[in-house]
A = this chain, B = another copy of it.
Amino acid sequence: MQTVIFKNQPRIIAGGSVAGPKECSGVVGKYVDKTLEDDMFEESTYEKAECKMLSFAIAKAIEKGEMSEQDVDMLISGDLLNQIISASFAARDYDFPFLGVYGACSTMAESMALAATFIDGGYAKRIVAATGSHFSSAERQYRYPLELGNTRPPQSQWTVTGAGGVLVTEKSIGKSSLAITSATFGKVVDFGITDVNNMGAAMAPAACDTILRHFADMGRKPSDYDLVLTGDLGALGSRILKDLTWEKGLDIAKNHVDCGEIVYNVIEDEFQGGSGAGCSAVVFSSYILDKLKKKQLNKVLFVATGALLSTISSAQGESIPCIAHAVSVENV
């Protein structure tokens, strides 16, 4: 069984988030803790701005959970930059242990799943799970420096500038009714997509695999959830996911939403919508978490997807292996 059920129901007690100006003109604008007017965040490089956003989201989640740094047992985090420097350098700001993870854009769900495992098993009491991304650092690392002014193809997505984190604790701490009730750890799925601009198509089969597995393992159906929330498939990837799951006899169309599809207000340069580890992290930690806290949503299956390629693997002719990890978040 790929799905772990958390009998002790670890709680999400708070979330922290920050996003860039473009992101905040969209749906998350009203919900994030900080809107950046300038995506440099008073730093000298994009990478340092990305790290500062992540560190901000971590600090904010702790603060809003009414705790201090000394209370936290661990940070679980990763990001898209080579050697996950945003996470490692953000962890340097804090005096608690750090578990570095890498799941590309699936990192938020992977971190939350791990945090819940540690807490459910009694190995820790308070863990911050967080991640982020920055459009400009991702562009220059994965594609071209912005200064080149390269055009982007219509199947591409726009990396979200932002970071989000949640503070996950033991049930008895903080009196939150919002629990992580299960996690489904994904397998690597590779459908042979080689177009590095078409992440949605590459990741949709991985999302499908994990979603089918989750429903089978849990004996649930899509209508058991208020929302099946995928990470960053974008518009095209979401359509592919709906087709793939429908073919397997699972109709998620009625209650599926993709963070990448909803994060931007208007589709101009963004084409298929948002992507990046920060996409699902910001949307979940602000907009969705607010709705869960207010009980406008009560049962959400959060499925973050990641494309596990690098510029080297693609240059060497490899296709794009993908993964999706899922956590169910419920008011209990």
Contact = CB atoms under 8 A, between A and B. Distances in A.
A82 interface: yes
Contacts of A82: 82-83, 310-312
Contacts of A311: 82
A84 B102 contact: yes
A319 to B, nearest CB: 9
Contact of A98 (B124, B141, B323): B323
Given A85-B310, A99-B101, A103-B100, A48 B188 contact: no
A309 B83 contact: yes
Interface stretch (A25-33, A115-123, A160-168): A115-123
Interface of A: 2, 4, 44-45, 47-48, 74, 78, 80-85, 88-89, 91-92, 94-104, 110, 114, 117-118, 120-124, 141, 185-188, 190, 308-313, 316, 318, 321, 323
A97 B190 contact: no
Contact of A92 (B44, B78, B104, B190): B190
5 contacts: A45-B316, A88-B321, A94-B188, A99-B101, A101-B101
B91 A321 contact: yes
Contact of A100 (B45, B98, B110, B312): B110
Contacts of A102: 78, 83-84, 100-102
A185 to B, nearest CB: 4
A83 B48 contact: no
A76 to B, nearest CB: 10
A184 to B, nearest CB: 8
A183 B316 CA distance: 38
A41 to B, nearest CB: 15
Contact of A312 (B81, B98, B124, B185): B81
Given A92-B190, A97-B187, A187-B95, A83 B310 contact: yes
Nearest to A45: B316
Nearest to A186: B97
A188 B312 contact: no
Nearest to A83: B310
Given A82-B310, A308-B100, A89 B321 contact: yes
Contact of A310 (B81, B91, B94): B81
Nearest to A99: B185
A4 B101 CA distance: 19
